Amino acid sequence: MAEIRIGMVGYAFMGKAHSNAWRQVSHFFPGVGQPRLQSICGRTRAAVERAAAELGWASVETDWRKLVTRDDIDVVDIVTPGDSHAEIAIAAARAGKHVICEKPLGNNASEARAMVEAVDKAGVRNMVLFNYRRVPAISFAKQLIEEDRLGRIFHFRAQYLQDWIVDPKFPRLWRLDKTVAGSGALGDLGAHIVDLAHFLVGQVEAVTAQTQTMIPERPLPGKPEQLAPVTVDDSAQFLGKVGATTAAFEVSRLATGRKNCLMLEINGSKGSLRFNLERLNELEFYDRTQPERLQGWNNILVTQKDQPYITHWWPDGHILGYEHSFVHAMADFLASLQGNQPVRPDFKDGLACNAVLDAVEASAQSGAWAKVAL
Amino acid sequence: MAEIRIGMVGYAFMGKAHSNAWRQVSHFFPGVGQPRLQSICGRTRAAVERAAAELGWASVETDWRKLVTRDDIDVVDIVTPGDSHAEIAIAAARAGKHVICEKPLGNNASEARAMVEAVDKAGVRNMVLFNYRRVPAISFAKQLIEEDRLGRIFHFRAQYLQDWIVDPKFPRLWRLDKTVAGSGALGDLGAHIVDLAHFLVGQVEAVTAQTQTMIPERPLPGKPEQLAPVTVDDSAQFLGKVGATTAAFEVSRLATGRKNCLMLEINGSKGSLRFNLERLNELEFYDRTQPERLQGWNNILVTQKDQPYITHWWPDGHILGYEHSFVHAMADFLASLQGNQPVRPDFKDGLACNAVLDAVEASAQSGAWAKVAL
Amino acid sequence: MAEIRIGMVGYAFMGKAHSNAWRQVSHFFPGVGQPRLQSICGRTRAAVERAAAELGWASVETDWRKLVTRDDIDVVDIVTPGDSHAEIAIAAARAGKHVICEKPLGNNASEARAMVEAVDKAGVRNMVLFNYRRVPAISFAKQLIEEDRLGRIFHFRAQYLQDWIVDPKFPRLWRLDKTVAGSGALGDLGAHIVDLAHFLVGQVEAVTAQTQTMIPERPLPGKPEQLAPVTVDDSAQFLGKVGATTAAFEVSRLATGRKNCLMLEINGSKGSLRFNLERLNELEFYDRTQPERLQGWNNILVTQKDQPYITHWWPDGHILGYEHSFVHAMADFLASLQGNQPVRPDFKDGLACNAVLDAVEASAQSGAWAKVAL
Amino acid sequence: MAEIRIGMVGYAFMGKAHSNAWRQVSHFFPGVGQPRLQSICGRTRAAVERAAAELGWASVETDWRKLVTRDDIDVVDIVTPGDSHAEIAIAAARAGKHVICEKPLGNNASEARAMVEAVDKAGVRNMVLFNYRRVPAISFAKQLIEEDRLGRIFHFRAQYLQDWIVDPKFPRLWRLDKTVAGSGALGDLGAHIVDLAHFLVGQVEAVTAQTQTMIPERPLPGKPEQLAPVTVDDSAQFLGKVGATTAAFEVSRLATGRKNCLMLEINGSKGSLRFNLERLNELEFYDRTQPERLQGWNNILVTQKDQPYITHWWPDGHILGYEHSFVHAMADFLASLQGNQPVRPDFKDGLACNAVLDAVEASAQSGAWAKVAL
């Protein structure tokens, strides 16, 4: 089986998660090929060398332009802040590399559209890392929906809530700066639940929205005396339509007590589903086709061998964690290379999400419904 | 202690709940006075006589106009469909009776306003039956908020979800007819969560909304062949503002698997609260003032003697049910008569809620934000 | 429909619960006949008169011997401490009254046996108030077992945990005095879970046990300086056999955080059940006959019209509380009078339970397994 | 930092879990040294070579005697069935290797005692893989107990329930054969909860027990027609004493619906703890030192940076899975080598557990309490 050589740009939180996935995938999915952690790229040599040692990469680069054109790289994996996604991905595609990119794909739909065009033109495989599609319970939810176990879907609702910036003294990191991050909770958290709506229910077509920056100034990192404006949203709420299905979304980084809490519920004429990322091994399914007196919310522990991805891990009932979804994503990406078949979510899915996020911002500014322009 | 003589108009589901409360209150709240279930009113003599026997009323009337002017009635309790609330309540107030009315107060704010004016002019005690304010866990939540245990409140979100009309063959009852019911899930369920927002956080000032009638035709009761249009909403989603606090609402009668599920969550800078009506004896409190490593969602079983209303019932840990909130409401109403003090939620609170519901409908029609006109 | 005249002996916690049941039953179960709360008996006239007023009784007695022989009493309901059950019940039976008795039936099996003999000889209806059999979720569990939805039953386990005497300063009430109470957590809490084992699975045949008095001395009520010995158990654990089914029990009044927490689980070859009294409206059912990938713990909200007792109360999803089980018990007792049919659990069931409790105490003392002598 | 060379004997489920831990540890715990997966041993060359490739080992052996004496091995890690633990571990210790062994340490206390003597005599580091001690929530529970947050501990109770052999057609694997496995659910599952009792509360001193083989015959693997006797227990229940603390245990492989469900609860005078392995990122803590009205079961998501092990993984709220506890165990073992300090649980802890399991079997046979012989 051919070795697939990976080059990764960036090495923060997502770099750690992707590296782990690249290291783990062949041990648990031996059939999909052997990735080689060829090179990792960061601007500061000492730091990236330390990262390479810790994360298991064979070499380092300090200029992503060099990395994306190296002959010994097959796949470029982009885990940088959002403002550099487009430039790197387009260059990588032009260099004929397959491209994986963290979400949201672009900092806006226009960037995402250019990225789609680049990978299409280059004919390279492309994936955007909406990793939660590959949490087994979510993949299983998708199966149940495809088997028509929910019937006509009336409602989709999702919240993605965190609380890491409740303290007003929490510093104004890059994630709170619009020029780098594009948006705040909306792009970081909202992107995930919009993508899950698309994955499970369908394309959001129009939205009405409000966004907030509740704490408008914060100290600069390392300079507790010096306040700087927060230029992204702390939180956002938006309502939308997916055909005749309603969709309701809320995201926040100020939801005290919610650590990494992505909750979703889907109500259909034949059944309903519930999911909570803080208990990601569980999927709750209400089956209205059962005898009425026996109907209830069935808490399915999605750790059984006939459920997605599980057979690769441990015996029934041994739960998985956050990082496993990344391993699944890389396994499916490698399989798509091996089988020369497309893989989803691809850059078009990334664009579809960016278009919704743009509409949310437009609606929040205009106070009117905004159509999603695809 | 003086006997308080009650006359009730209506005797369906809410009539049963109110009657139970009137019968039970003096046994568990002996200090508040003794209500006498004097007379119950309904249009059909045979039916109302059966109801009187079953529910424990001393006499019957078939014309509410007679009931509200009887000398031996002190309090008129209105549990009819929404389209007759205003007329009855205004007549009762004019006759100098204290008035209790089921929610929503009017079928629109204009009706509610006239009702407020009537009770103000007559100087009679008035209460609108947002009974969930008196679920002990909700009353306790109010206490915690008043003690400033949440700090600055960032977010309020609530859903009230049911599923009793998912079957398209479910008949087009009066609750699905706008001329009688005023609205559908919005007035029936939305009224409750809007009132809880008002009670716990503050007045909703403006909204953006969508409403749906997913199943536009249904068979008439007893005539399965004959379809009639459903003229009220099956479900609604709306976003609002309460000062700098965000508010997100969703209601549905098509949420398969949700039976009587009112969930709410409030996120503040110092703490958060969660509640679920299907587990109404529990309140979850996240206290950000605890040591960080010990912070969690604290599931408080609100059945302890130092929590609201509990000391009147059973020893610690013996849970209460749905109907107890009505007993609490009547106890507090009787206490207010005895002490000659106001009681909340009063008709003004009912109007505040109606005004929000009107704004939701206006926004759903216009596609723009609507201010709440108080 | 004939009126049934009730006389009750005792008026503490259980007196309040039984009185409520007698008052409520005809309003919610109109078909079973009309109880009349004829007379209530207590030793102290002033106190029993106050109780009569509050609880709704028409007259009082201060000598139970007079009450049980009054001509205008049909049913004697005994809610006194355990040491007087036998004497009162036997006298009532001899006077030809139907008898209801709180649990445990006797303070030991010998007392219980005499009570069985007395009611059998007198040919009167008799019931022991294991009220939890009539929590709808438990009645529903019984239905599921009778429908063979669990298959061969491997395991029964139950805990009944409270924490009201954790504080060593909590006074030495009568419940902590063996001469009055018979036993401690064992008779008070253990009796319930032993009865539920009998109801749901079958007769416990032999046990091995340990019991503890963790806090051996406590202040006398109202005399904080004066310590008196605690002569009953604070907690007990015991293992037993029901045919080939295992049974494991634990009870405690020192289980910090558990207020009134009766949990049980039954594991069978085809399915399993779980129940928790602090969430008494819910029954969890695991159905191993479902497709494997869809198997889970199905949380059934037992508030639906096709489930036991529910149709008498509120629409689907409106939860019931602790006291409703007593109403159901009285409804079924009245129905048994009306239909001239036996009702369970009767005094024989009470004896079966007492025999197990005796065996637990014997085993705890001997350190060996003890057979249950029926 | 010196490389530590590992040799592993066995490569089934536990081999996969240990291999993963050895591969992962230096990426997440870079300070503890670098293990090298030097050699893996199994009897069948082809199979062990396949395992070596998949699990990441550099070489293979087919005779464990050779592996344990190889010069290039520092640590011998034993993941074979229980009947070979003692022989391999003793040989490894004699060869001067540090030894890690899966649980239960021996198939009985006598074997375990010999193993303790061997490692003591050789002066080598030794660890028994009670990996659940290092689930962060359990490590955190230990901290809370050491901080005296529970006060005097009244009760410990634990169940470890699975259901993988409910089907009577499930084959009679080696785990169901006493000569290989030593015991059934008792040694496999009971060992874990006995060790957790020892870790969190103290040494179990005496027990009364019953064990069952509910399905006494099963088909041989691959031979559905040929039944063979099951010679180990399917389930066991036992009660014990830890000083004045009570302990109640139950294990089963026939608990339909329980997949890998280890639940424990500890009740103390100042607080209580609850844990469930199927939700292993959560610890529930009831703090009786809080104001009474605010007391509740505090669900702590043990994924915060100030809780054990978390800082090595992901940001707050990103949950861990089953296998992480093994990584923690190996990290601590490597740290103990580096720091030349003991590590727990060591072989003495393994012996303490085996002695309890022996007492359980003795009691189940004799029908009397059995003392734990240490």
Give the tens place of pLDDT for each residue, D234-267: 999 999 999 999 999 999 999 999 999 999 999 9
Region A217-237: what's the mean pLDDT?
A: 96
Whether residues A126 and A266 share a domain: the answer is: no
Nearest to A272 among B250, B257, B369 (CB): B257
Region B211-230: what's the mean pLDDT?
A: 96
Give the tens place of pLDDT for each residue, C259-276: 999 999 999 999 999 999
Q: Phi and psi for A255 in degrees, rounded to 5?
A: -95, 80
CA distance D277 to chain A (A): 9
Whether residues C87 and C195 share a domain: the answer is: no
Give the tens place of pLDDT for each residue, A103-127: 999 999 999 999 999 999 999 999 9
Cβ-Cβ contacts under 8 Å, D272 against chain C: 255-258
Q: What angle do CA C308, A295, C329 make, to 5 degrees?
A: 15
Whether residues C81 and C154 share a domain: the answer is: no
Nearest to A267 among B154, B157, B255 (CB): B255
CATH number of the domain at C274, please: 3.30.360.10
Nearest to A254 among B257, B267, B286 (CB): B267
Domain endpoint, select from A132, A147, A170: A132
Cβ-Cβ contacts under 8 Å, D324 against chain A: 321
pLDDT at C1: 53
CA distance A290 to chain D (A): 19
- Of all residues in chain B, what percent are helix, strand and coil, respectively (each to 5)? 40, 25, 35
The answer to whether residue D338 is domain-embedded is no
The answer to whether residue D331 is domain-embedded is no
pLDDT at A281: 98
Is residue D241 less than 8 Å (CB to CB) from chain C?
A: yes
Q: Give yes or no for residue B144 having a pLDDT over 60.
A: yes
Whether residues C179 and C121 share a domain: the answer is: no
Whether residues B165 and B311 share a domain: the answer is: yes
Q: Could you tell me which residues come within 8 angstroms of residue B152 by beta carbon, excluding any fewer than 6 positions away? A: B244, B268, B269, B270
Per DSSP, the three-state class of B248 is strand
The answer to whether residue A360 is domain-embedded is yes
Nearest to A286 among B256, B288, B369 (CB): B256
Q: Using 50, 70 and 90 to split pLDDT, how confident is the model at B40?
A: very high
The answer to whether residue B276 is domain-embedded is yes
pLDDT at C2: 72
Q: Using 50, 70 and 90 to split pLDDT, how confident is the model at D2?
A: confident
CA distance D256 to chain C (A): 6
In contact, B317 and B102? CB cutoff 8 Å:
no
Q: Give yes or no for residue A1 having a pLDDT over 90.
A: no
Cβ-Cβ contacts under 8 Å, A321 against chain D: 318-321, 324
**Cβ of A278 and D278 within 8 Å?**
no
The answer to whether residue B252 is domain-embedded is yes
Determine the angle formed by the axes of helices D191-200 and D136-146, rounding to 10 degrees.
30
In contact, C128 and C101? CB cutoff 8 Å:
yes
Tell which D residues from 162 to 201 touch A, by Cβ distance under 8 Å.
162, 164
Neighbours of chain C (3+ CB pairs under 8 A): A, B, D
pLDDT at B2: 72
CATH number of the domain at A65, please: 3.40.50.720
Within 13 Å, how many C-alpha atoms sit on residue A306's CB side?
6
Whether residues A21 and A96 share a domain: the answer is: yes
Give the tens place of pLDDT for each residue, D275-296: 999 999 999 999 999 999 999 9
Q: Give yes or no for residue B1 having a pLDDT over 60.
A: no
Query: What is the pairing mode between strands D235-242 and A126-128?
Result: unpaired
ipTM of the complex: 0.96
Whether residues D50 and D190 share a domain: the answer is: no
Domain endpoint, select from A132, A153, A173: A132
Cβ-Cβ contacts under 8 Å, A297 against chain C: 298-299
Dihedral sign (CA C21, C27, C33, C35): positive
Give the tens place of pLDDT for each residue, A274-329: 999 999 999 999 999 999 999 999 999 999 999 999 999 999 999 999 999 999 99
Domain endpoint, select from A74, A102, A132: A132
Q: Give yes or no for residue D103 having a pLDDT over 90.
A: yes
Q: Give yes or no for residue A2 having a pLDDT over 80.
A: no
The answer to whether residue D157 is domain-embedded is yes
Give the tens place of pLDDT for each residue, A49-107: 999 999 999 999 999 999 999 999 999 999 999 999 999 999 999 999 999 999 999 99
Q: Structural domain of residue D146, as residue ranges?
A: 133-321+352-366
Nearest-Cα residue of chain B relative to residue C21: B24
Query: What is the pairing mode between strands C235-242 and C206-212?
Result: antiparallel
pLDDT at D323: 98
Q: Which residues pair with B60 in a beta bridge?
A: B40
pLDDT at B258: 98
**Cβ of C269 and D256 within 8 Å?**
yes
Whether residues A127 and A153 share a domain: the answer is: no
Region A270-275: what's the mean pLDDT?
A: 98
Q: Which residue has the tokens 């709420």?
A: A237
Distance separating alpha carbons of residues D56 and D50, to the nearest angstrom: 10
Cβ-Cβ contacts under 8 Å, D284 against chain B: 296
DSSP structure class, residue D368? B
Give the tens place of pLDDT for each residue, D158-190: 999 999 999 999 999 989 999 998 999 999 999
Whether residues D278 and D308 share a domain: the answer is: yes
In contact, D242 and D128? CB cutoff 8 Å:
no
**Cβ of B298 and D301 within 8 Å?**
no
Per DSSP, the three-state class of C247 is strand
pLDDT at C123: 97
Is residue B301 less than 8 Å (CB to CB) from chain C?
A: yes
Nearest-Cα residue of chain C relative to residue A140: C293
Q: Which residues pair with C77 in a beta bridge?
A: C8, C100
The answer to whether residue D273 is domain-embedded is yes
**CB-count burial class (<10 Å; 0-12, 13-18, 19+) for D215:** buried
Q: Could you tell me which residues come within 8 angstroms of residue B336 by beta carbon, excluding any fewer than 6 positions away? A: B125, B127, B342, B343
DSSP structure class, residue B56? T
Q: What is the DSSP string of D194-248?
A: HHHHHHHT----EEEEEEE-SS-EEEETTEEEEEEE--S-SEEEEEEEETTEEEE
Whether residues C48 and C189 share a domain: the answer is: no
Whether residues C214 and C357 share a domain: the answer is: yes
Neighbour tally for B71: CB within 10 Å: 7
| Domains: count for chain B | 2
Q: Give yes or no for residue D1 having a pLDDT over 70.
A: no
Whether residues B73 and B199 share a domain: the answer is: no
The answer to whether residue B71 is domain-embedded is yes
Give the tens place of pLDDT for each residue, B47-69: 999 999 999 999 999 999 999 99
- Reported as type and span, the H/E element at residue A368 is none
Does pTM surpass 0.95? Answer: yes
Region C320-335: what's the mean pLDDT?
A: 98
Substitution target in D154, D265, D300 with the highest count of C β-carbons within 10 Å is: D154
Distance separating alpha carbons of residues D212 and C81, to the nearest angstrom: 40
